[in-house]
Amino acid sequence: MIEDIADREPFAPFERWLSLAEQSEKLAETMTLATATLDGRPSVRAVLLKGVDRRGFVFYTNLESRKSGELFVNPHAALCFHWKSLMRQVRAEGIAEQVSEDEADAYFASRARGSQIAAWASDQSRPLENRAQLEQRVDTFTRRFADRSVLPRPNFWSGFRLVPERVEFWQDQPSRLHDRLVFIRDGESWRKERLFP
Ligand SMILES: Cc1cc2nc3c(=O)[nH]c(=O)nc-3n(C[C@H](O)[C@H](O)[C@H](O)COP(=O)(O)O)c2cc1C
């Protein structure tokens, strides 16, 4: 099956695998994102892929969250998609860059109003006294923006694009003899290598 990846770059096969996964499972765009502190202590969490093109993989988040704090001091990041229904995995490693203001504005504007309010209300990753404190903050921002049809994007909320140096496609095969194909960035183009499983 993996022999079918005749592409010279990883994004077209990634998009094919993602759309196949979307046909067979919910939230197929979920990816595990790994970041690390300057001294190399890693942390991982799930985020949603909100855009992919020849530049990289985009997700959105609070810029004051733990993950963002780590990315600001150490932009090296990795992500992993695991599609159980397909028994396939895609991994990518590279540098995370903040998306442009225009790109973040456009995505924020496309979100449901409740999600926009939630972005304002959540001090993501910081301690919360209790659920009531969160609900109170939601009320506060709901009232603050009651007379505005369009909500502004908080300046502490934006996106990152993981610009990959390496993208690996993995597919289950009988007797654990899985197929692995990795694309490694080589200047303007990509080099392909097979790996032992
Ligand atoms: C399926 C799923 C999708 C998620 N998508 C996002 C997302 O797109 N952006 C985000 O900031 N957090 C998302 N989260 C929450 C994160 O996993 C995490 O709890 C949060 O971002 C705080 O992480 P941090 O403290 O490491 O910064 C998602 C969680 C799950 C389970």
Concatenating the DSSP letter of every residue in 128-197 gives: -S-HHHHHHHHHHHHHHTTT-SSPPPPTTEEEEEEEEEEEEEEE--GGG--EEEEEEEETTEEEEEE---
Ligand 1 pocket mutation, candidates 31, 61, 70, criterion most atoms within 8 A of CB:
61
Count of Cβ atoms closer than 10 Å to residue 187 Cβ:
6
| pLDDT, tens digit (0-9, with 9 covering 90-100), for 159-177 | 999 999 999 999 999 999 9
Q: Cα–Cα distance between 42 and 33 in angstroms, integer?
A: 10
Q: Which of 176, 180, 185, 194 is catalytic?
A: 176
Ligand 1 pocket mutation, candidates 30, 48, 74, criterion most atoms within 8 A of CB:
48
> Is 185 assigned a catalytic role?
no
| pLDDT, tens digit (0-9, with 9 covering 90-100), for 75-122 | 999 999 999 999 999 999 999 999 999 999 999 999 999 999 999 999
Q: What is the pLDDT of residue 84?
A: 98
Residue entry with tokens 């067979």: 24
Q: Which atom of ligand 1 is nearest to the CA of 46?
A: 17
CA of 34 to the centre of ligand 1 (A): 12
Q: What is the pLDDT of residue 4?
A: 75
Q: Which atom of ligand 1 is nearest to the CA of 30?
A: 1
Q: Is the whole model's pTM more than 0.85, yes or no?
A: yes
Q: Cα–Cα distance between 104 and 98 in angstroms, integer?
A: 9
Q: What is the mean pLDDT of residues 144-156?
A: 95
